[in-house]
Structure 1
Amino acid sequence: MKAKVKQAIFSLNDELDMFPETIMITVQRKDLETVVNHLHHSGEEWSNQSAFGYAIAAAESIGMSAEDIQRLVGAMASECDWKTLDRAADVYRKSDY
């Protein structure tokens, strides 16, 4: 996630230099959430890559097929794009697992 945050910040900085002092800029919600979540959780040692690594290791340890692991990783990537860390934690806390 750090790479995404840096990319979003640098991209935004480059775009801001081209505009006058007073202007309204539209950004995609997921880009804004990425930056806000990074700033909010910057003290934590967590990344989506860590979560994917845990999931892949667990899936391999129970003998899931490569195809099923790929599907799991794809689904996780989609969820990471749309859920904040807090929302994902809430899903876990409310689950039967």
Structure 2
Amino acid sequence: MEDKFRILEEELENIRKRLTKKLYDQIKETKKFQKKVDDLNNLLNKKDKEIKEYKSEINTLRDAFDLLISDWIEELEKRGISQEEILAQRKSFEKVMYWKHGEKY
């Protein structure tokens, strides 16, 4: 009877060891996976920051472009160019500047 208990205790200990090892292995894998997730989140945050910077630069360029067009229109008006001709040239210029980059003005 004592042998049966000892054998059962050994089996239980072996099962405990196997389950403990599996648990530690799963914890290791979870940590590896979490590191990958953290790395991807960091990369995503970096790209989001870059996109915001690019959008800011684009907006600055658009503002400069709008000022350029305003100055250009003033110059055309000083030269006596008709409003229809100015509008036609402006539309043509805007198409080149904006539609070339896949955007509609």
TM-score if structure 2 supplies the norm length?
0.31
Higher-Rg structure is: 2
TM-score if structure 1 supplies the norm length?
0.33
